[in-house]
Amino acid sequence: MRVGLEAFLILSAVLFSLGLFGAVSKKGAVQVLMSLEVMAVAVNINLVAFSRFLTPLTMDGQFFTIFAMVISAAEIGLGLALVLAIYRRSRQSEVTGLNELKG
Amino acid sequence: MPSTVDGIAFAVLAVALVGGALGMLTTKNIMHAGFWLLEVSVAAAGVYFLLDANYLALVQLLVYAGAVSVLIIFSVMITLRRREDAVRPRDLSWQAGLLALAFAGMMIAAIAAYAWPVAGMPAGAPDLVAFGTRLFAPHGWALPFEIASVVLTAALVGAVWWSRKEDE
């Protein structure tokens, strides 16, 4: 069996959809962040696959992936700090409980 | 690498990735979800090895499987008062499922319909030395790299600021 670019793209599309499903439907803030991580992994696989198949010599997608990893590491760090701050204020970390700004 | 090995390795990693994500979504225990995320990260590193992105595979293992998973598992443990709090309802809504299914169907249809200009994997990927040379080339990726380190520092300071005690 030969694995082409399409196989990697479809794998990453399926993984992204699973992450999207979790990010939209989960109610715990930490679980939403976990789903976001799955989506980030799917996007990175997409970038690396494009880089390997379309620009194998310049490796542009791999550099994009490095910066995407930096951003998502920053995002998860800030997100978890925010979850801890919310937990310290209101003793819970449910997304549905965060309705103080509701008019 | 012979193409048959490629296919088997890809199938194993694909099952590990999708199965890990499904396990993360369907488990009732948040701790188990954290460990499933760890498994997904390790499988993603395997996919990077398959795509000859050795440096990225190592970064994936160090940053995601190492740091991010530990961070998530620690914050789960901090925000749980009792052991029973780890078990919670699945929270899977059919509207979200519909959205995800529509997105997946659209993406897969678009990927299958497009005529990709490459048939197989091009032979010979540049090695780690070429990767580093391009990353730190003065007119290449050196400036974005430095900006990324500023972003990381800002995120670090912000995370410390947010998670400090309120009454200080």
Give me the pLDDT at residue B121, please: 77
CB-based contact, A81 to chain B, within 8 Å: yes
Note whether B70 and B140 are same-domain residues: no
Note whether B78 and B12 are same-domain residues: yes
CB-based contact, B168 to chain A, within 8 Å: no
User: Which residues in chain B have Cβ-Cβ distances shorter than 8 Å to A78?
Assistant: 155, 158-159, 162
Number of domains composing chain B: 2
Q: Is the pLDDT of residue A59 over 90?
A: no
Read off the pLDDT of residues B9-60 as tens digits, 9 standing for 90 and up: 999 999 999 999 999 999 988 899 999 999 999 999 999 999 888 999 999 9
The answer to whether A21 and B52 have CB atoms below 8 angstroms apart is no
Query: Is residue B167 in some structural domain?
Result: yes
Nearest to B71 among A66, A80, A82 (CB): A80
CB-based contact, B61 to chain A, within 8 Å: no
Taking residues B91-97, what's their average pLDDT?
A: 87
Query: Is residue B95 in some structural domain?
Result: no
Do the chains contact at A10 and B116, CB–CB below 8 Å?
no
**Banded pLDDT at A103 (limits 50, 70, 90):** low
CB-based contact, B119 to chain A, within 8 Å: yes
Of B103, B55, B51, nearest in space to A53 by CA:
B51
Give me the pLDDT at residue B4, please: 61
Q: Is the pLDDT of residue B1 over 70?
A: no
Q: Mean pLDDT over all residues of chain A?
A: 88
The answer to whether B13 and B47 have CB atoms below 8 angstroms apart is yes
Q: Is the pLDDT of residue A36 over 90?
A: yes
Note whether B83 and B143 are same-domain residues: no
Q: B143 lies in which domain range? A: 126-168
Read off the pLDDT of residues B104-158 as tens digits, 9 standing for 90 and up: 999 999 998 988 887 777 777 788 888 888 888 888 888 988 999 999 999 999 9
CB-based contact, A98 to chain B, within 8 Å: no
Select from B57, B87, B117 the last residue of a domain: B87
Distance from the A103 Cα atom to the nearest Cα atom in chain B, whole angstroms: 25
Read off the pLDDT of residues A22-33 as tens digits, 9 standing for 90 and up: 999 988 888 999
Q: Is the pLDDT of residue B2 over 60?
A: no
- The Cα B101–Cα B36 span in angstroms is 22
Number of domains composing chain A: 1
> Which residues are CB-contacts of B96 (< 8 A; sequence separation ≥ 6)?
A20, A21, A24, A25
- The Cα A79–Cα A92 span in angstroms is 15
Q: A57 lies in which domain range? A: 5-91
For chain B, the straight-line distance linking the first and the last C-alpha, in angstroms and rounded, comes to 59
Do the chains contact at A67 and B148, CB–CB below 8 Å?
yes
Q: Is the pLDDT of residue A41 over 80?
A: yes
